[in-house]
Each structure stands twice: as structure tokens, then as C-alpha cells.
Amino acid sequence: MVAKESLDNQSKYSHQTNTVPKLQKIMLDGGFTCPNRDGRVGRGGCSFCQCESFNPDYCRDNKTIHEQIEAGKAFFRGKYSNMKYLAYFQAYSSTYASLDVLRQRYEEALAVEDVVGLVIATRPDCIDENVLSLLVSIRERNYSVAIELGCESFYDRTLERVNRGHTVAQSITAIQMCKKYAIPVTIHLILGLPGESREDILAQTELINSLPIDALKLHQLQILRGTPIAREWEKNSADFLSFTLDSYSEFVAEFVNRLRDDICIERYASSAPKDMLLAPRFGVKPSVVEGHIKKLLLQKN
Ligand code: SF4
């Protein structure tokens, strides 16, 4: 299981040497919105969403894409001697605009010195053949391209309950389309959504293993102040799994043990700003959670 090493900040070929560059993702807000907020699919957004929690400081304050990347480079400068960057369009739905707008924003990122590719995070219902053809044309110029899809759950009843605004079938179709265009795909899954038992969550591994995905990012459900899900949790916390650092680590180790060996785990846990987070409060950074889980995986295997 340790073969499922985190690739969050590096590609498989970027070992840390002086000659082979280290790859670092730079998170960007590309100025996109989301169909679950602007009314195309829904209004109000997913019940767990607090968009303020998305961005690091360097991509706030209405900076251009170019400025955000330069600020990100300055932030990471000095970490390694030889660095290249992936422009990580992370906020909102980064394929949700006309093709002309997408092309213009992706090209602005690629024009920055030392940017060698794009990572595009989006919703499954915002992927189509035109977007994928655009990404393939960028890849043909020797840039790296990858997609991240927010699937979040493989239960329609859960997606409906959290007002996600797309279905499991749409997630599967989007994954298969990425595969058709040979674009690497990472899916995101939230562990602990309301109404899902431990068994329900673990049972999703069967479907995940049958899908042509390359990587998975796992997140504990974070109850953020001011969100609809926070009000639900305050009224009926019994409908939510309540994780501690230890119980979450044990649970994720069990989950990961059930996955195909070739699925890379890019993320084991996430973190929101302390002042926004109501629960669970692990009190440590995601890298510490990751360390706990990897230790458990080594013990199991
Ligand atoms: S989580 Fe993503 S899809 Fe849901 S409302 Fe927020 S930005 Fe939109």
C-alpha cells in the first residue's frame, strides 16, 4: 500500500535532484464561478461549501492569473533549487466558461516562465468533449494537463441531500470521457457526509476500483461556520460520523486498503482555516494526519 505514495506536489519523474526539476502546484483562482451558485444548476451551492476556505492568501485580492502565479512562485522560491510549476486552477469550477474564456485564462497561466502544465479542478457536469479537446491541444504543445473532478460521493441520495446538483451517473461519464482523451483524472471524495455510515463509505471502493481513475483525494467532511450543513449538524449531529484524529486515521487506512494498488492517494485529509471550522478539530496539519495513516498502512501490510 505504500506504493500509493502522495503525488500532490510532484510528478512521478520529479525526484529531488539538482538536474531534475521539482514540480510544485500553484493554486489559482481563475475567476470562474459555479453552476450550483449562479442558477444554471442551483443557487446557494453545496451545503458544505464555504468558498472563502478555498484559496491561500497569495491568490486573493483580485490578482490576475499572472500575478497569482508570480506570488506563488515567490512563496515557494527557495524550497528547492530547481523548480517548475503547475498552474492549479482550483477555486470554483475551472471549466465553467466559454471555450474562448477558458483558452485565454489557461494561456495566461502557461505564458508565465517555468509553468509546465495545468491542473484543472471542476465539477463532473462541467466537462465535455470541447473542453477536453482544448486540453489535448495544450498537451500536444508538450505541456502537462490533468483534471480533478469533485465527485464527493457515489450515492445519489447523498448528492441530493447536500445539494450537489449533479448525479453519480454524471461523475462516471466525466471520468470515462477524460479516459477517452487520455487525460489523467483525480477524483475528490468527502468522507463523513450526512446519512452515510462507515459501511456505506467503504462500499464505494468497489465502484471506485472499477473506474479508470489515476488518483484520489480524500477529505474529511469539515463543518464550516455559516454553511447549511453546519445548521443541519447543529440540529442533528447524530446523523454525521464523528471522527477523531485516531478514528479518522484508522478509517482511512481501512478505506485505502480496499482500493486498487495503482490508484495514487494524493490527499488523505484537508484543512480549513481554524476560525471557520466547527468540526472535526484534529488540531494538526493534514501532513500529520497523512503520517498517522501511512504508519497504519505499513502496520497492516
Ligand atoms: S463546492 Fe464547488 S460545486 Fe459546490 S457550491 Fe462550492 S464551488 Fe460550487
Q: Can you give the CATH number for the domain in which 281 is found? A: 3.20.20.70
Residue 179 has pLDDT above 80, yes or no: yes
By 3-state DSSP, what share of the chain in percent is helix, strand and coil, each rounded to 5? 40, 20, 45
Region 122-143 average pLDDT: 98
Whether residue 11 lies inside any domain: the answer is no
- Ligand 1 within 6 A of 227 CB? no
Angle at 184 between CA 107 and CA 222, to 5 degrees: 90
Output the CA 141–ligand 1 centroid distance in Å.
Answer: 31
Residue 10 has pLDDT above 60, yes or no: no
Among the listed ranges 14-18, 216-220, 224-228, which one has the minimum average pLDDT value?
14-18
pLDDT for position 54? 58
Characterize the bridge pairing of strands 83-89 and 144-152. Answer: unpaired
The ligand 1 atom at the shortest distance from the C-alpha of residue 164 is 4
Distance, CA of 28 to CA of 54 (rounded, Å): 10
Whether residue 10 lies inside any domain: the answer is no
pLDDT for position 57? 59
Q: Which residue's CA is the nearest one to ligand 1's atom 7? A: 92
Whether residue 2 lies inside any domain: the answer is no
Whether residue 191 lies inside any domain: the answer is yes
From 138, 70, 3, select the one nearest 12 (Cα to Cα): 3
From 124, 125, 192, select the one nearest 162 (Cα to Cα): 192
Of 48, 49, 126, the residue with max ligand 1 atoms within 8 A of its CB, to mutate for a pocket test, comes to: 49
One DSSP character per residue, 101-147 reads HHHHHHHHHHTSTTEEEEEEEE-GGG--HHHHHHHHHHHTTT-EEEE
Take residue 78 and report the three cell numbers written for it: 527557495
Q: How many CA atoms lie within 13 A of 145 on its CB side?
A: 22
Whether residue 14 lies inside any domain: the answer is no
Query: Amino acid identity of 262?
Result: D
CB count in 10 Å sphere of residue 227: 21
- Say how far residue 191 (Cα) sits from the centre of its chain: 13
Residue 171 has pLDDT above 70, yes or no: yes
Whether residue 6 lies inside any domain: the answer is no
pLDDT for position 82? 87
Distance, CA of 289 to CA of 301 (rounded, Å): 19
Output the CA 46–ligand 1 centroid distance in Å.
Answer: 6
User: How does pLDDT run across 145-167, given as a tens digit for each residue?
Assistant: 999 999 999 999 999 999 999 99
pLDDT for position 17? 42
pLDDT for position 19? 63
pLDDT for position 20? 77
pLDDT for position 15? 37
- Ligand 1 within 6 A of 46 CB? yes
At residue 103 the predicted structure's pLDDT band, cuts being 50, 70 and 90, is: very high
Sign of CA dihedral 27, 32, 36, 41: negative
Whether residue 105 lies inside any domain: the answer is yes
User: How does pLDDT run across 28-81, given as a tens digit for each residue?
Assistant: 999 999 999 999 999 889 999 987 665 655 555 589 999 999 999 999 988 888
Region 104-132 average pLDDT: 98
Region 83-109 average pLDDT: 97
From 227, 266, 273, 218, select the one nearest 56 (Cα to Cα): 273
Which residue did the predictor score with more confidence, 111 or 5? 111
Q: Which residue's CA is the nearest one to ligand 1's atom 6? A: 49
Sheet-wide strand order for 215-220: 22-28, 83-89, 115-122, 144-152, 185-191, 215-220, 264-267
What is the radius of gyration, based on Cα positions, of the chain?
19
Query: Amino acid identity of 229?
Result: I
Residue 189 has pLDDT above 80, yes or no: yes
Domain assignment of residue 148, given as a range: 22-300
- Ligand 1 within 6 A of 123 CB? yes
Output the CA 47–ligand 1 centroid distance in Å.
Answer: 9
Region 181-189 average pLDDT: 98
The ligand 1 atom at the shortest distance from the C-alpha of residue 35 is 8
pLDDT for position 231? 97
pLDDT for position 53? 62
pLDDT for position 11? 40
From 205, 59, 98, 215, select the one nearest 146 (Cα to Cα): 215
Q: How many domains does the chain contain in total?
A: 1
Extract the runs of DSSP E, i.e. beta strands, from the chain.
22-28, 83-89, 115-122, 144-152, 185-191, 215-220, 223-224, 264-267, 277-279
pLDDT for position 51? 73
pLDDT cut 70: percent of the chain above it: 90
From 165, 177, 181, 30, select the one nearest 94 (Cα to Cα): 30
Output the CA 163–ligand 1 centroid distance in Å.
Answer: 10
Which residue did the predictor score with more confidence, 231 or 80? 231
Region 286-295 average pLDDT: 96
Distance, CA of 161 to CA of 193 (rounded, Å): 9
Whether residue 4 lies inside any domain: the answer is no
- Ligand 1 within 6 A of 37 CB? yes
Distance, CA of 230 to CA of 65 (rounded, Å): 32
Residue 179: phi and psi, rounded to 5, are -60, -45
- Ligand 1 within 6 A of 45 CB? yes
Region 81-85 average pLDDT: 91
